[in-house]
């Protein structure tokens, strides 16, 4: 009897551990994984500073955006102009995009070539590229699509020799339509990239 009690006393701690361990494992498995949430994207502009603020990075080219580097060589403390400082220029023609696409079409490439020639000949202007969408899709999706269109346009112009330091982009998504009818003829006008200018100070 004494031997049995002695064995029981030695085994009890192990039995307790073995009984509690599965409960701990189950409770750990059910605990939700917590990660730091990325801040929600609220701004629709890329490479534009709100009045009175300084951007963390220049964000002036699509190729280097988000990489943490500044491929343009522009100082991170550069005060970028506000979109309201830009105005339309009749010499710069808009381009258009296919539904849900941001590829530069061959006909629009010719327009961009002409725009690039004007930009290189008028180096005293800063350029704002606006990306627009038609009304189909959510606001968030269209803001992202408008940004991709503006970035594709910016990258094309840089490839044609326009200095990236002069280029800024913004997405308006579906918020600024040229036409309000609900048909393809109208929607095709709204899927566009526009160009605004501002004299260098």
Least confident of 16-25, 124-133, 166-175: 16-25
Residue 153 pLDDT class (50, 70, 90 cuts): very high
pLDDT for 79 beyond 60? no
Rounded CA separation 12/186 (Å): 80
> What pLDDT sits at residue 83?
84
Its CATH architecture, for the domain 45-199, is 2-Layer Sandwich (3.30)
Q: Does pLDDT of 143 surpass 90?
A: yes
**Mean pLDDT on 28-40:** 32
The H or E element spanning position 11 is helix 2-30
Return the CA Rg of the chain: 28
pLDDT score, position 1:
56
Percent helix / strand / coil, the chain, rounded to 5: 40, 15, 45
Q: What are phi and psi of 162, to 5 degrees?
A: -80, 130
Asked whether the predicted pLDDT for residue 46 surpasses 70, the reply is: no
Answer yes or no: is pLDDT of 3 > 70. Answer: no
Instruction: Give pTM, 2 decimals.
Output: 0.64
Angle between the 139-159 and 106-121 helix axes, to the nearest 10 degrees? 60
Cβ neighbours around 41 below 10 Å, total? 10
What single string gives the DSSP state of each residue in 102-166? -PPPHHHHHHHHHHHHHHHH-TTEEEEEEEE--S-S-HHHHHHHHHHHHHHHHHHHHHTT--GGG
Tens of pLDDT, residues 86-109? 999 999 999 999 999 999 999 999
Please report the pLDDT score of residue 114 as a whole number: 98
| CA distance linking residue 117 with residue 91, whole number of Å | 11
């Amino acid at each position: 009897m004494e031997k049995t009690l002695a064995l029981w006393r030695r085994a009890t701690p192990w039995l307790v551990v073995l009984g509690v361990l599965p409960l701990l494992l189950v409770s750990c498995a059910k605990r939700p994984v917590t990660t730091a949430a990325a801040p929600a994207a609220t701004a629709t502009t890329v490479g534009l500073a709100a009045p009175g603020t300084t951007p963390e990075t220049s964000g002036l080219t699509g190729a280097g955006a988000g990489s943490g580097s500044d491929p343009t060589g522009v100082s991170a403390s550069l005060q970028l102009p506000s979109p309201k400082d830009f105005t339309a220029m009749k010499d710069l023609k808009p381009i258009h995009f296919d539904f849900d696409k941001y590829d530069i079409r061959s006909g629009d490439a010719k327009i961009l070539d002409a725009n690039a020639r004007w930009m290189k000949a008028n180096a005293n202007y800063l350029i704002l590229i606006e990306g627009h969408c038609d009304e189909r899709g959510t606001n968030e999706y269209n803001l992202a699509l408008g940004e991709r269109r503006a970035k594709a346009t910016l990258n094309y112009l840089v490839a044609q020799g326009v200095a990236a330091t002069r280029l800024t982009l913004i997405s308006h998504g579906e918020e600024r339509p040229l036409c309000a009818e609900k048909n393809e003829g109208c929607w095709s006008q709204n899927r566009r990239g526009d160009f605004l200018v501002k004299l260098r100070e």
